[in-house]
Amino acid sequence: MHLSQSKEFLAQTARSLEEARNARSFLISFPILLKKFFPSVRCILYYKEAEGNVFRPYDGDNRKNDLPLIGEEANLIESFTGRSEFLLADDHNRMYFDLFNRDSDGFFAKHALNLVIPLHARSYFRGLLLAAVDAKDRKAVHALAEAVQTAALMFIPQIEAEQMEYENDKNYYRLFKFDRLVLLGQMAASLAHEMRTPLTTVLFELAAMQNQLPADEKIAAAYETINREIARANQMIESLLVFSKFKDLHIAPIFLREFMERTLREIPANKIPSRVRVQVQAEKEIQVSSDGNRLKQVFINVLFNALEALANQKNPLIDIRIYSEYKDLPKNLRHIIAITDNGPGIPDSIKDRVLEPFFTTKKEGTGLGLYISYSIMKTLKGDLEIHSSRQGTRVNLILPAR
The pLDDT of residue 248 = 64
d(CA 205, CA 35): 81
CATH number of 3-165: 3.30.450.40
Q: Is the pLDDT of residue 196 over 80?
A: no
Name the most confidently modeled range: 35-39, 64-68, 171-175, 196-200.
Answer: 35-39
Q: Is the pLDDT of residue 229 over 90?
A: no
Q: Which of 85-99, 231-245, 375-389 has the lowest mean pLDDT?
A: 231-245
pLDDT digit string (tens) for 335-375? 999 999 999 888 877 877 777 766 676 666 666 678 788 88
Residue 341 burial by CB count (10 A; 0-12/13-18/19+): exposed, middle or buried? buried
248-402 homologous superfamily: Histidine kinase-like ATPase, C-terminal domain (3.30.565.10)
The larger pLDDT score, comparing residue 9 to residue 91, is at 9
The pLDDT of residue 277 = 92
Q: Where in the chain is CATH 3.30.450.40?
A: 3-165
168: helix, strand or coil: helix
Q: Is the pLDDT of residue 67 over 90?
A: no
Q: Which of 53-57, 243-247, 352-356, 396-400 has the lowest mean pLDDT?
A: 243-247
Q: Is the pLDDT of residue 385 over 80?
A: yes
Q: Where in the chain is CATH 3.30.565.10?
A: 248-402
3-state helix, strand, coil in the chain (%, to 5): 50, 20, 30
d(CA 278, CA 318): 5
Q: Which of 70-79, 180-189, 245-254 has the lowest mean pLDDT?
A: 180-189
Provide the pLDDT confidence category of residue 118 given band limits of 50, 70 and 90: very high
Q: Is the pLDDT of residue 329 over 60?
A: no
pLDDT digit string (tens) for 233-249? 777 676 666 555 555 67
One-letter identity of residue 147: A
How many C-beta atoms lie closer than 10 Å to residue 208's C-beta?
10
Q: Which of 7-16, 33-42, 43-52, 323-332 has the lowest mean pLDDT?
A: 323-332
Q: Looking at residue 24, what DSSP letter applies?
A: T
Burial string for 209-237 (b: 16+ CB within 10 Å, else e) reads eeeeeeeeeeeeeebeeeeeeeeebbebb
The percent of residues above 70 in pLDDT, for the chain, comes to 83
Provide the pLDDT confidence category of residue 192 given band limits of 50, 70 and 90: low
pLDDT digit string (tens) for 123-179? 789 999 999 988 888 888 888 899 999 999 999 988 888 887 776 656 555 555 555
Residue 144 burial by CB count (10 A; 0-12/13-18/19+): exposed, middle or buried? buried
Per the CB < 8 A criterion, the answer to whether 143 and 6 are in contact is yes
Read off the pTM. Answer: 0.49
The pLDDT of residue 188 = 63
The larger pLDDT score, comparing residue 241 to residue 325, is at 325
The larger pLDDT score, comparing residue 231 to residue 247, is at 231
The percent of residues above 90 in pLDDT, for the chain, comes to 23
Q: Is the pLDDT of residue 81 over 90?
A: no
The pLDDT of residue 61 = 65
Average pLDDT over residues 190-203: 73
Pick from 251, 248, 254, 239: nearest CA to 195? 239
Q: Which residues contact 141 (CB under 8 A, 6 or more apart)?
A: 86, 88, 115, 133, 134, 135
Average pLDDT over residues 264-271: 85
Q: Is the pLDDT of residue 103 over 80?
A: yes
Mean pLDDT of the chain, nearest integer: 82
The pLDDT of residue 180 = 59
Q: What is the C-alpha end-to-end distance of the chain, expressed in Å?
A: 51
